[in-house]
A and B are shown apart, each in its own frame.
Chain A
Amino acid sequence: MGDIRYDVAIVGAGPAGLSAAIVLAKAGVKVIVIERGRFPGSKNVMGGVFYTDCMKGVVDDFPGKAPVERHIVEQRMWLIDDESYVGFTHKNAKFDNQPYNCHTVFRAQFDKWLAQQATGAGALIINQTVVTEPIMEGDKVVGIRTDRPEGDIMADCVIAADGVNSFIAKSLGFRSNLKKNAVALGVKEIIGLDEKVINDRFNVSGSQGVTIEMTGSLFEGAEAMAFLYTNKKSVSLGVGMIIEDMIEHNINPNELMESLKAHPAISPLIEGGETKEYLAHMIPEGGYNEMPRLFGDGVMIAGDAAMMVNAVHREGSNLAITSGKLAAQTYLEAAEKGDFSADTLSVYADKLQESFVMKDLKKYKELPKLLQKNRHLLDKYPKLINDAAFELLKVDGISKQAKQRSIWKNMKQQIGFTRMLKDLYKIWRTVG
């Protein structure tokens, strides 16, 4: 690898690492990014919605020529049960105004493009290389070791953006092993459909797109989160579940995926489609309380590696981009002082605290615990609401008052009045 001393060494060419690389390279910093895949994005997966705002200061004319699929004008939220759903929809002509709020993307293509922006700005990206460990000098990170012969890279500062499995954060002792209840597994299929068929089925035209978020009991009483996002000539259909729940309910991810595809609300939307790719990836959903230490002497942690996912709002890549940007800015300030100690790099945590990243993660910090302790919130309520809607809308000679009484009785039997009040209070306290 030639002369192997850089100002900054970044582990992982995903959104966090690449946004840091772009900001640093633009400022004239000598920066190297190590990526284990064949090309940046080749091992990266997400549901598929990328928010535009975070690109300010990274790629200002975004989307420009970036490989984006559709801009989202309508968002549907469904509480699902075995054969039904109760939904809420927001469609707004304002989402048709540029710059668009968000687009669907394919990460293998998007990250590749983002890497080209980094290279264009002057960063060096080395693919097909695994970072095996940080190089230490006492407690200070002074570089990274790779699986290439003579593959040590020395740097003033290392940014670990190595994703959900982050071995760097683990080996530095910044976090313990990932907990079964703090990570979800998401599986997804890209299902090819004719562009016109998508436009007709989702009532959109041009590059307009629709997202559907679903929650409820999808599969043998286990709580899952699912989504369907429209791309130009395909839809991304996926489902995620906390790993602890999957183990407990004996769930096979592919069977879960197949049951989603067979759901009466989904199957007509993908009918005639051809699966192009099957994907799986872990989602760090532990939230604020499960975040690792974010900085140390000569090192900062960004993106998924730092558990920066807002599961409530299906945001992650924008948190990653923002954290990469803030890590880069922190480095620039530290370089002026010529000091990369933990004390100086603590500014990174301050910047995160001041940004929406930590504010949002803090806001929902008790949610994972709430859902874990109150499984019925995602299991019983969607079912009760679906049953209630069906009962109210079915005309069968029974008076509305009798129907209301029976719905109420069912709710009291299933959950109980006091518990419902408590649940409402808890939910309001946690997400309100």
Chain B
Amino acid sequence: MRLEDKLYLIGFKVDEVGGSHLAIKDRSLCVECEMKQCLYICPCGVYEIDEKKNEVSINYDACVECGTCRVSCDNIDWRYPRGGFGVAYKFG
């Protein structure tokens, strides 16, 4: 089963106004980063390489707020989405 199809099953309320609750602190560090663990460690594929800009893009609307990227990389600025936004599981 494709990840895209799984993400489709999850309830999200995306914060269009407040924007992303995730950010990269210093993009120059990403250029030097060899592991690039953010690209494979996220269970929802939030971090991807944007081929055009040649930098990491953040699809925050697919984030389930587990915190794995935050533990994996010190260069990620991670906070909770605003109250009421983000993931809302049906089963949990």
Contact with B along A184-197 (1 / 0, CB 8 A): 01010110000000
Given contacts A36-B83, A147-B83, contact A277 B68 (CB under 8 A): no
Contact B88 A280 (CB under 8 A): no
For the complex, give the distance between the alpha carbons of A261 and B81 in Å: 31
Contact A43 B89 (CB under 8 A): yes
User: Which of B35, B67, B74, B89 contacts A165 (CB under 8 A)?
Assistant: B67
Q: Is A417 an interface residue (CB 8 A)?
A: no
Contact B83 A42 (CB under 8 A): no
Contact B83 A111 (CB under 8 A): no
Contact A247 B35 (CB under 8 A): yes
Given contacts A277-B9, A279-B64, contact A129 B83 (CB under 8 A): yes
For the complex, give the distance between the alpha carbons of A97 and B81 in Å: 44
Q: Is A144 an interface residue (CB 8 A)?
A: no
Write the nearest CB–CB distance from A187 to chain B, whole angstroms.
5
Which interface residue of B35, B64, B83 has the most chain A CB atoms within 10 A? B83
For the complex, give the distance between the alpha carbons of A129 and B84 in Å: 7
Contact A109 B84 (CB under 8 A): no
Write the nearest CB–CB distance from B33 to chain A, whole angstroms.
12
Q: Is A331 an interface residue (CB 8 A)?
A: no
Contact B92 A109 (CB under 8 A): yes
Contact A108 B83 (CB under 8 A): no
For the complex, give the distance between the alpha carbons of A185 and B37 in Å: 14
Q: Is B44 an interface residue (CB 8 A)?
A: yes
Contact A187 B43 (CB under 8 A): yes
Given contacts A106-B91, A108-B90, A243-B71, contact A127 B84 (CB under 8 A): yes
Which interface residue of A109, A234, A253 has the most chain B CB atoms within 10 A? A253
Q: Is B58 an interface residue (CB 8 A)?
A: no
User: Which of A44, A148, A258, A281 contacts B83 (CB under 8 A)?
Assistant: A148
Which interface residue of A109, A180, A254 has the most chain B CB atoms within 10 A? A254
Contact with A along B69-90 (1 / 0, CB 8 A): 0111010000011111011111
Interface size on B, residues (CB 8 A): 36
Write the nearest CB–CB distance from A383 to chain B, whole angstroms.
25
For the complex, give the distance between the alpha carbons of A46 and B90 in Å: 13
Contact with B along A119-142 (1 / 0, CB 8 A): 000000001111000000000000
Q: Is B53 an interface residue (CB 8 A)?
A: no
* Chain A residue contacts of B68, Cβ below 8 A: 185, 243, 253, 280, 282
Contact A253 B41 (CB under 8 A): yes
Given contacts A36-B80, A246-B41, A247-B35, contact A44 B71 (CB under 8 A): no
User: Which of B9, B44, B81, B91 contacts A280 (CB under 8 A)?
Assistant: B44
Given contacts A165-B67, A254-B45, contact A108 B92 (CB under 8 A): yes
For the complex, give the distance between the alpha carbons of A39 and B92 in Å: 12
* Chain A residue contacts of B74, Cβ below 8 A: 177
For the complex, give the distance between the alpha carbons of A42 and B71 in Å: 22
Between-chain CB contacts (< 8 Å), 12 pairs? A36-B80, A36-B84, A42-B89, A128-B83, A177-B74, A180-B71, A180-B72, A252-B40, A277-B9, A277-B91, A279-B89, A279-B91
4 A-B pairs closest in CB distance: A128-B84, A108-B92, A107-B92, A278-B6
